[in-house]
Structure 1
Amino acid sequence: MSKAHQTKGGTLSGKVSGVDVVVKDAGLPSELSQVPSFEEEGSVLPPPPVLTPQEEARLWRKVDRHIMPILTMMYLFSFVDRGNIGNAKLQGLVTQLDLTGSRYNAALSFFFLSYNVGSIPANLVLKKFRPSRVLPTITILWGIVMCLMGLVKNYSQLVAVRVCLGAAETGLASGAFYYLSMWYPRHMIQMRFGIFWSGATLAGAFTGLVAFGISFMSGTAGLLGWSWIFIIEGMATVVVGVVACFVFVDFPDTARFLTPEERAFVVNRMKFDNSTVGEDEHFALRHIWEALLDWQVWALGLLNMAVIMPVDGISYFLPWVFAVLSPRRCADMNGQSSIINGFGFNTTTSQLLTVPPYIVAIVMVMVWSIWSDRIKRRSPFLFSGLLLCLVGFAINITNAPIGVKYFGTYLIVIGGYAAHPAIIAWLTNNLAGHYKRAVGIAFQGIFGNTGGLIASNMFRSQDAPRYITGHGAEMGFVGMGLVLVPIVVFAYTRANMKKEAKMREAEDRGEKYAPEELKRLGDRAPDFRYTL
């Protein structure tokens, strides 16, 4: 708990989590003179300056330069390392490790099981142990695990390493989304989520290009191409993690790249971004239950599942969509055709054909994210992305010509990847209180990873070449999302109307809510408005 008292000259001083903090008030109301309860070195913040729009824009660009590049790079390699098994499958992984039957799908599934276990605890401890320590450390750990995956010799070892990979990566995505929500205001955040998520989108193209180059190393040191894919990309991840240890910054009140005045501006802007009295910043067990019992966390969690299933399904199986093997070669592989026979291209061409859809998707991710922030709406972009996915899967489930199906994969990749920042920003915008938001974001991520787990088991080798079961199931979950979006919009609209009516009634009676009560209520407070 924090204790503070007002001193002469309007200076607020006290202890925040046992650390001395002083804020020079200069006559400002006391609620505008407090800093978040970050457990950092003692700091002195001057009054927040008044900035022109141009000055504020320059400040946020400065923040972007110090935060977004390294965070995006870390997430890029996260997606590379979880999805490169799809490229490794084309380089002999299935044959050498005897991944017959459903073994390949099972290996994918174990990653998500271990990944889900640590998501909520990882977000809760992020503030306690500092992002600059936690996120780079887990990056280095999973890079080491990825290198070890290149040395496995059988199916059991592959499963064990995939479990370790999921455990090592847990907390990065949800932790990064929560971390960004501590830096950027509600209606500036989707563009940053878009930049961050572009790392995952770029990974879709990056893995195909890198796998193509690494394939020429097959046979080096007695290892096939799939081993080198894991080893080289794992080593690159370790390098990124080491660099992050030196350049990653924590929260606004201790950011050394900002001047004291800039820090004061960001701290105060974030403190009163979604409430007239600031957010609840102290941990209590009730924050966990409030998040887990909140209808919007479950509804937007299901929507995240509807978006992530196309994203993960396509990243794991797209390289194989383009591949073709002759009937004799299919027989040699004991029926492990996966999504072979579909488009009719060899391994090299298949790797390269995965690149263009992701490049287009990166452009759409940024265009939609900037547009969404400007109009302060999330639902239209989420609905549009899901609709593109539905059309894309509907095309691919048919006997359409190869060119038409390739166009369908564009729609799936663009729709899934461009919609994801919107669904994350939507929940982030509508949860108030540091720890409730941390739990809610992590729980939403669990829904998404569960969707990835389901998607990893939907494209079975016996369903080739049309994969009616996989495409049909994807269409079902996407359809669920299309139904949920208008329901959630209606619920939020009705809730906002009730809040407005409640505020008017209180004003008519001459009543005023106490600041502590509004903080405790968080997003349920009558002065809080849900983003649509």
Structure 2
Amino acid sequence: MPGDKEKNVHETNITAVASFTRQDIGKNENVITTIISPFTSHEVKLTGDVDEALKFALDHSDAQVVLTPERDRKLLWKIDLHLMPILCLLYCFQFMDKLSNSYASVLGLRTDLSMQGDMYSWTGSAFYIGYLVFEFPASRLLQKFPVAKTLSIFIILWGIILMLHATPQYPGFIALRTILGMLESSVTPANLLITGSFYRKEEVFLRVALWFSSNGIGTMLGSGAIAHSLVQYEDSYSIAPWKLTFIITGALTVVIGFIFMFHVPDTPANAWFLNEEEKMLVVERIRANQQGFGNKHFKMHQFKEAMFDIKTWLIALFAFASNIPNGGITNFGSILLTEDLGYSVPEGLLMQIPAGAVEFVGCSLLAFAASYVAKKRLFWAMVGTVIAVVGECFLAFSNNHKLQLAGYILYSIAPVGFICLLSIISSNVAGHTKKVTTNAIYLVSYCVGNLIGPQTFLEREAPNYKTAKICIAAFGVFSIAILGAIWFVYWFDNRSRDRMSSDAAEDFALIDNHEFADLTDKENPLFRYEL
């Protein structure tokens, strides 16, 4: 009967005044309390299998810390100073690694490896096949083992693999591209986990934008400082310039891997640059996230929730649609500039420098606007995506080479949508297994889009590649519509939660350190989505 159900829910929630103790931590059979989630109507048991942040909070429960606005600003600045440069540098280098294939394509790679037909297209797709296959295993490894140390090992290995690109014939080159994709599949989920554990929800978008848009710096350095220099002085080298491209970028990556290993902490609790009081203040700062540092145990119910959540698949659909253009332009950008738009090889490499600058500055400015002007990150993501689609249309439908070049450069702001949804996963997906699963699905979709992208460049249509250009514009328009749908779903869910009054929410708020119970966004009655 309705009345009995209401009574049972209330009686269950009366026990919510219970608290976690240090003895409960790590013991899944220790049920602290039980609530009925008002959003799923399912029973939710709070056990000792909680977030790692709770262990730290309980160990320091006797300490009295006060987070004033001034201390908060100083702490945020200190975290930024120690984390953001290395995260940005890592992303800069990994994108140089991806673009090395594009640079090599106009420096003699295709000739020396006797590539014909769609053989070069498969060098781009092979990378994302490896990425696709290994994304779930990589995400699981990052959950189970210390995230920064695990990532640093991946970085060092992919740097070695990249240097080996200079040695094989075509079959071996394809194999190495596949392995490279497997190893690089770890970088985005790891950076996202690290960022989410140090920053509040509202701070994440700008930080993710800074390190992700450092791809633009990688473009400027790779095309200008490395590839262009190799072309200018190619007669001075004893080996082919395309081989030097892989050797130089690979060696730089190995160096950054070792720096990352010793510099970046796995969680705020073992951050070498924070004292004990500052570590406690970080924990206090991130309480508002209703999330903590992470949980190393795989939870099947969270996995299922991620798989059956419509928001997961809307986010994945955006990753797929927006990265078909990305996969094509990343691998064929140099070829379009030199063979379609008619620039010489040195000129074509230099023309990529303004594109890199637009990506870094444009994406960062839009994220800054979302943090300090109109605080709606999905709105600014849509603004950036519309600008990118205008550029895609210039590239696809104009016959004026200058307008096509402008379109190519404008397209560089397109990653802001992808960046926004990365930050959305960090902010809006709670429960560590659910977050890792959603992130993996998002990046698998990213891989599928990037894998398809190069295949739209048909050899028989060279050098104009009309089909590919139309696909770029069409999927760009589609991605705008998906962003709008995601915005609506989050807005509607928040509105429904605000209207719903429940004993569960009131009682849940009474549990000490409830923010670190490793509940999903659907299980937690106090959770609200960032727009």
Q: Same fold (TM over 0.5)?
A: yes
> Per the alignment, in what secondary structure is the counterpart of residue 522 of structure 1?
coil
Residues 158 and 107 of structure 1, relative CA distance in 2, 3 Å threshold = same
Runs of 5+ in structure 1 lacking a partner? 1-9, 19-30, 324-339
Residue 407 of structure 1 corresponds to 406
2:318 is aligned with what amino acid? L
2:347 is aligned with what amino acid? T
Are 1:446 and 2:444 matched, yes or no? yes
Residue 366 of structure 2 corresponds to 368
Deviations 1:238-279 (A, max 9, x none): 11112222212110122121121111111132234237x999
Report the Cα offset of residue 317 of structure 1: 1.8
Residue 309 of structure 2 corresponds to 294
Q: Distance in 1 between matches of 2:20 and 2:431?
A: 26
Contact 2:432 2:518 in 1 (8 A): no
Residues 43 and 530 of structure 1, relative CA distance in 2, 3 Å threshold = closer
Residue 194 of structure 2 corresponds to 179
Residues 204 and 321 of structure 1, relative CA distance in 2, 3 Å threshold = same
Q: What TM-score results when the alignment is normalised by the length of structure 1?
A: 0.84
Residues 158 and 447 of structure 1, relative CA distance in 2, 3 Å threshold = same
Residues 473 and 136 of structure 1, relative CA distance in 2, 3 Å threshold = same
1:471 is aligned with what amino acid? K
Contact 2:389 2:476 in 1 (8 A): yes
Q: Distance in 2 between matches of 1:241 and 1:279?
A: 23
Higher RCO (Cα < 8 Å, 6 or more apart): 2
Report the Cα offset of residue 350 of structure 1: 0.8
Out of 52, 57, 71, the residue aligned to residue 68 of structure 2 is 52
1:413 is aligned with what amino acid? S
Q: What TM-score results when the alignment is normalised by the length of structure 2?
A: 0.84
Q: Distance in 2 between matches of 1:270 and 1:42?
A: 12
Q: What is the root-mean-square deviation in Å for CA atoms of aligned residues?
A: 3.0
Q: Distance in 2 between matches of 1:407 and 1:383?
A: 20
Out of 80, 87, 91, the residue aligned to residue 75 of structure 1 is 91
Residue 423 of structure 1 corresponds to 421
Percent identity over the alignment? 25
Contact 1:123 1:178 in 2 (8 A): no
Contact 2:22 2:59 in 1 (8 A): no
1:189 is aligned with what amino acid? V
Residue 147 of structure 1 corresponds to 163
Contact 1:201 1:417 in 2 (8 A): no
Contact 1:114 1:163 in 2 (8 A): yes
Report the Cα offset of residue 124 of structure 1: 2.8
2:309 is aligned with what amino acid? D
Contact 1:48 1:265 in 2 (8 A): no
Contact 2:65 2:281 in 1 (8 A): yes
Contact 1:310 1:389 in 2 (8 A): no
Report the Cα offset of residue 175 of structure 1: 1.8
Residues 41 and 228 of structure 1, relative CA distance in 2, 3 Å threshold = farther
Q: Distance in 2 between matches of 1:177 and 1:518?
A: 18
Deviations 1:15-52 (A, max 9, x none): 7549xxxxxxxxxxxx9xx9942699999536362233
Q: Distance in 2 between matches of 1:270 and 1:520?
A: 13
Residue 36 of structure 2 corresponds to none
2:209 is aligned with what amino acid? G
Deviations 1:88-132 (A, max 9, x none): 001011111111000001121111111122222322332432123
Report the Cα offset of residue 486 of structure 1: 2.0
Residues 288 and 87 of structure 1, relative CA distance in 2, 3 Å threshold = same
Q: Distance in 1 between matches of 2:341 and 2:220?
A: 18
Q: Distance in 2 between matches of 1:213 and 1:37?
A: 48
> Per the alignment, in what secondary structure is the counterpart of residue 523 of structure 1?
coil
Contact 1:40 1:254 in 2 (8 A): no
Contact 1:17 1:37 in 2 (8 A): no
Report the Cα offset of residue 314 of structure 1: 2.3
Deviations 1:132-174 (A, max 9, x none): 311111110000000000112x211111111111122121112
Mapping of residues 105-144 of structure 1, within 5 Å:
105-144=121-160
Contact 1:217 1:228 in 2 (8 A): no
Q: Distance in 1 between matches of 2:378 and 2:135?
A: 25
Q: Which moved more, 1:38-47 or 1:120-129?
A: 38-47
Q: Distance in 1 between matches of 2:424 and 2:297?
A: 23
Out of 193, 216, 220, the residue aligned to residue 201 of structure 1 is 216
2:281 is aligned with what amino acid? F
> Per the alignment, in what secondary structure is the counterpart of residue 273 of structure 2?
coil
Residues 56 and 511 of structure 1, relative CA distance in 2, 3 Å threshold = closer
Q: Which moved more, 1:393-402 or 1:193-202?
A: 393-402
Are 1:61 and 2:77 matched, yes or no? yes
Contact 2:289 2:515 in 1 (8 A): no
> Per the alignment, in what secondary structure is the counterpart of residue 240 of structure 1?
helix
Residue correspondences, number:
486
Residues 48 and 350 of structure 1, relative CA distance in 2, 3 Å threshold = farther
Residue 378 of structure 1 corresponds to 377
